């Protein structure tokens, strides 16, 4: 009899995904669910929902949740965690949500060293509303609001969020991973788990950026979108651990 090598994490509901085919939000949804179940903390989790395609993972997670206004998840998560210090409070935000309308909220929460975990899904576009330019849209990348490609002379440069957050004193863990290949997915899973473990250990603010795709709004097949990530996105947004204060303490 064949050996069973994979079991669906219990906190992932048995539903088919509503994300577009090949969208890596879907994979991130699974990795977060697996991490929660492996850490055995599903009963303690409170997920704060942002606005965007990123928020659709709420349909598939069997977890407690609260909603927030666009970009305000880190502020709501602050309130939830301060009222319920025993809970594991996290948000999974897109780049329009986190790096544009919610830029102030995430930087202030990071700067205060709130004991929360933020996952940042960077697909370099506003996915849900039809592919407008985001703060992370690459130079030359086309979107519905920069049809000839992003021009830094008029719209500035793509914002590297990890590099901003790492400059603050308080964050204990800041890292960027890409979900483009099995090896990188394994690294991302470790980072996701670590960012949650830090909160379980009573440490402060953890920030994990995940480079993903948006095949629909990039106008590409899933395979083409992964190639685009590897040739463009991952070159501008280097994948590494920027801050790990837990390692400093271990040394």
Pick the piece of the chain touching ligand TPP (CB under 6 A) from 11-19, 51-59, 155-163, 234-242. 51-59
Interface with ligand TPP, residue 135, by CB under 6 A:
no
Pick the piece of the chain touching ligand TPP (CB under 6 A) from 35-43, 47-55, 109-117, 222-230. 47-55
Write the burial class of residue 71 (CB in 10 Å: 0-12 exposed, 13-18 middle, 19+ buried): buried
Q: Of 41 and 134, which CB lies nearer to ligand TPP in the complex structure?
A: 134
Q: Of 126 and 207, which CB lies nearer to ligand SF4 in the complex structure?
A: 126
Q: How far apart are CA 214 and CA 217, in angstroms?
A: 6
- What DSSP state is assigned to residue 150? B
Pick the piece of the chain touching ligand TPP (CB under 6 A) from 45-53, 154-162, 171-179, 203-211. 45-53
Neighbours of 49 (CB within 10 A): 19
Residues in the chain: 251
Q: Whole-number minimum distance, CB 202 to ligand TPP, in Å?
A: 30
Interface with ligand TPP, residue 95, by CB under 6 A:
yes
Binding at 23: pick from ligand TPP, ligand SF4, none (beta carbon under 5-8 Å per type): ligand SF4
Q: How far apart are CA 187 and CA 140, in angstroms?
A: 29
Binding at 118: pick from ligand TPP, ligand SF4, none (beta carbon under 5-8 Å per type): none
Q: Whole-number minimum distance, CB 121 to ligand TPP, in Å?
A: 6
Three-state SS at 17? coil
Among 35, 78, 123, 180, contact with ligand TPP (rule: CB under 6 A): 123
DSSP string covering 79-135: HHHHH-TTSEEEEEEEHHIIIIITHHHHHHHHHHT-S-EEEEEE-SSBTTTT-B--T
Cα distance from N-terminal residue to C-terminal residue, the chain: 47
Q: Whole-number minimum distance, CB 49 to ligand SF4, in Å?
A: 15
Residues that bind ligand SF4 (CB under 6 A): 19-20, 23, 25, 53, 123, 127-128, 214-217
């Amino acid at each position: 009899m064949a050996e069973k090598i994979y079991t669906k994490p219990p906190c992932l509901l048995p539903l088919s995904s509503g994300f577009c085919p090949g969208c890596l939000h879907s994979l991130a949804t699974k990795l977060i669910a697996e991490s929660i179940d492996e850490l055995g903390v599903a009963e303690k989790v409170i997920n704060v929902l942002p606005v965007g395609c990123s928020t659709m993972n709420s349909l598939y997670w069997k977890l407690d949740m609260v909603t927030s206004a666009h970009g305000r998840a880190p502020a709501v998560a602050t309130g939830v965690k301060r009222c319920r210090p025993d809970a594991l409070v996290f948000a999974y935000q897109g780049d329009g949500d986190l790096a544009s309308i919610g830029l102030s909220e995430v930087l202030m929460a990071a700067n205060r060293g709130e004991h929360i975990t933020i996952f940042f899904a960077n697909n370099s576009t506003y996915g849900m509303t039809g592919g407008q330019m985001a703060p992370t849209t690459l130079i030359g990348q086309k979107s519905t609001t920069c049809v000839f490609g992003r021009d830094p002379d008029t719209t500035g440069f793509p914002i590297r969020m990890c590099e901003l957050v790492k400059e603050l004193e308080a964050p204990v863990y800041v890292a960027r991973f890409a979900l483009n290949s099995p090896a990188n997915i394994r690294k991302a899973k470790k980072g996701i788990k670590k960012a949650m473990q830090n909160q379980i250990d009573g440490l402060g603010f953890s920030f994990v950026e995940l480079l993903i795709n948006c095949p629909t709004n990039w106008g590409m097949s899933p395979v083409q979108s992964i190639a685009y990530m590897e040739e463009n996105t991952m070159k501008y947004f280097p994948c590494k651990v920027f801050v790990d204060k837990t390692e400093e303490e271990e040394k």
